């Protein structure tokens, strides 16, 4: 697998000129052999530049700065997969979203559902080993069209969609809303809401504060923030809750979050 030059990544994706990368894996334990629409963009993040010095983030500020949003919706999608030849198409298996108050940075509510895939309903051993999701956990679950309708009703109940309320989706990386979600919407015949076409990629947000380091997975972010991860890696709900901790930690260090990812 070839890599795009890291310099082109800086020019096209970040608003500053200095960003160091710590090498680690993405959502896949091993890179999928088959290429996807987001594959080239993942490659841009994988140029291994090892840095021997310790990474030190800024000290925490006395008061969390006022944010541009009223709520953050922290999302982490898990999808069907296989190796060395990936599942085609990849369908959403787990859809968790944590509603976070943008003033206190505390979780206020959670939407969480497993999803029954319809095109390739049988999970692979690789997928189960990676995500911890077994066949019996999804066989009786609703398909994504039903799950997404339930999610929209949850957003209404939580008051997120009221006029004047500002909210932003937050992901660990771009593929969740740039690839997996749009693909699933295409499969399920769902129109993508405008409010899910932009998001905050927390790994890019890391680059907005000294020492301008770009970490390539959630475990590295938690290490930089001196946080203890809870639950299982690649469990969607556990990853989302851990990402909430990172979000709060960065805000406590003075970061004001803004959109930095979008579906063109």
For 26, 31, 157, the CA distances from 44, given in Å and listed in that order, are: 12, 14, 39
E strand or H helix that includes residue 3: none
Kindly name the residue from 78, 91, 158, 178 that is annotated as catalytic. Answer: 78
Beta carbons of 119 and 187 less than 8 angstroms apart: yes
Whether 234 is catalytic is yes
Kindly name the residue from 94, 158, 234, 252 that is annotated as catalytic. Answer: 234
How many residues does this entry show for the chain? 264
DSSP string of 32-74, one letter each residue: -SS--TTHHHHHHT-------SPP-PPPPPSSPPPPS-SEEEE
Q: What is the distance between the alpha carbons of residues 125 and 80, in angstroms, rounded to a whole number?
A: 10
Exposed / middle / buried, residue 9 (Cβ in 10 Å: 0-12, 13-18, 19+): buried
Q: What is the distance between the alpha carbons of residues 146 and 151, in angstroms, rounded to a whole number?
A: 9
For 131, phi and psi rounded to 5 degrees?
Answer: -95, -20
- In the Cβ-directed half-sphere of 87, how many Cα atoms lie within 13 Å? 23
The set of catalytic residues is 78, 234
């Amino acid at each position: 697998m070839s890599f795009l030059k890291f310099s082109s990544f800086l020019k096209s994706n970040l608003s500053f000129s200095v960003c160091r990368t710590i090498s680690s894996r993405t959502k896949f334990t091993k890179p999928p052999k088959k290429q996807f629409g987001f594959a080239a963009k993942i490659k841009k993040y994988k140029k291994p530049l090892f840095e021997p010095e310790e990474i030190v983030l800024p000290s925490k500020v006395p008061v969390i700065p006022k944010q541009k949003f009223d709520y953050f919706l922290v999302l982490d999608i898990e999808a069907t997969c296989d190796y060395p030849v990936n599942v085609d198409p990849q369908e959403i298996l787990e859809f968790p979203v944590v509603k976070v108050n943008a003033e206190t940075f505390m979780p206020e509510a959670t939407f969480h559902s497993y999803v029954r895939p319809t095109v390739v309903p049988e999970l692979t051993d690789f997928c189960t080993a990676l995500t911890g999701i077994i066949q019996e956990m999804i066989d009786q679950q609703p398909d994504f069209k039903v799950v997404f309708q339930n999610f929209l009703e949850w957003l209404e109940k939580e008051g997120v969609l009221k006029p004047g309320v500002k909210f932003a989706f937050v992901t660990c990386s771009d593929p969740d809303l740039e690839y997996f979600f749009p693909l699933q919407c295409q499969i399920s015949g769902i129109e993508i809401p405008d409010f899910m076409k932009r998001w905050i990629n927390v790994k890019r947000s890391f680059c907005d504060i000294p020492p301008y380091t770009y970490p390539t997975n959630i475990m590295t972010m938690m290490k930089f923030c001196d946080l203890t991860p809870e639950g299982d890696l690649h469990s969607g709900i556990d990853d989302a809750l851990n990402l909430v901790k990172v979000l709060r930690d960065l805000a406590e260090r003075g970061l004001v979050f803004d959109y930095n990812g979008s579906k063109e």
